Amino acid sequence: MITIKSERELELMRHAGMLVSKMHKFIKPYIKAGITTKELDKLCEDFILKNDAVPSCKGYEGFPATLCTSVNDTVVHGIPDNYKLKDGDIITIDVVIGYKGYQGDAAWTYAVGEIDDDKKYLMEHTEKALYEGIKEVKPGNRIGDISAAVQKYAESHNLGVVHELCGHGIGRDMHEDPEVPNFGIENTGPRLKPGMVICIEPMLTFGKRYVYQLDDDWTVKTEDGEPAAHYEHTVLVTDDGYEIFTPRLD
């Protein structure tokens, strides 16, 4: 069931989304060679708790941490550990924050020091693919319009679209209806209505689109070992378009 949020609910979701944005801004200067992903996780957990909010991933279906930290060929759901970032890595930080029962969710990929041109290309065009999807958000359009726009942009830039994972509705729960795939057909799927809130989150690969999961039941990696990037916003359908609840503050 796709829910329409009330004004009161939207205020809480705006706040949750702004905390997500602020946390990304807070952690960015720490993303440097030598720091471990576990240290990043601890810094973010403390930040969230200090803001009277909840790290919603921690304990969700047994996920053990506040952040998903996904380095290089890890696409999503990397578990923070003792890996030390090194120059030339890219790392996606994905977080869900709860505030008074409502969730905000955003991911972006960061460069560690100087990265090569392939990784720059991948990051730039994955973020642009996200905005191509967001441009389709308005009442009357359908989920398939978002999916098709993301796919078209990604594939025309020779990037792989991961099919196994998708965006989602969000509200009291981090994952609500509808599913928001990153590939699909225009003018299909549920119709967008004012008051719906969805997460759009292209996960694109520099090589082939195929992925596999590690034995930890979380970490998803590219099969060919090429890097992946992931950008995600929480987006409200407004009367005449959209509002991004998780704006970039950097």
Find the binding residues for Co ion in span 95-114 (CB under 5 A).
105
> How near is the Cβ of 167 to Co ion at its closest, in Å?
6
Give yes or no for residue 19 binding Co ion (CB under 5 A). Answer: no
Q: Which is nearer to Co ion, 105 or 132 (CB)?
A: 105
The radius of gyration computed from the CA coordinates of the chain, to the nearest angstrom, equals: 17
Identify the H or E element spanning 71: strand 67-71
φ, ψ for residue 177, nearest 5 deg: -70, 155
Q: DSSP 3-state assignment of 148? A: helix
Judged by CB under 5 A, the stretch of 14-22, 70-78, 120-128, 197-205 that binds Co ion is 197-205
Q: Which is nearer to Co ion, 56 or 222 (CB)?
A: 56
Work out which of 161, 199, 211, 237 binds Co ion, going by CB under 5 A.
199
Distance of CA 144 to the CA centre of its chain: 19
With a CB cutoff of 8 Å and minimum separation 6, the contacts of 61 are none
With a CB cutoff of 8 Å and minimum separation 6, the contacts of 217 are 62
Q: Which is nearer to Co ion, 183 or 207 (CB)?
A: 183
> How near is the Cβ of 139 to Co ion at its closest, in Å?
22
The 8-class DSSP code of residue 46 comes to: H
Judged by CB under 5 A, the stretch of 53-61, 83-91, 184-192, 195-203 that binds Co ion is 195-203
Whole-angstrom distance, CA of residue 48 vs CA of residue 99: 10
Q: Which is nearer to Co ion, 176 or 207 (CB)?
A: 176
> How near is the Cβ of 168 to Co ion at its closest, in Å?
6
User: 3-state DSSP helix/strand/coil percent for the chain, to nearest 5?
Assistant: 30, 30, 45
Number of residues that bind Co ion (CB under 5 A): 2
Tokens (6 digits) for 21: 């944005």
Q: Which is nearer to Co ion, 150 or 207 (CB)?
A: 150
Residue ranges that bind Co ion, judged by CB under 5 A: 105, 199
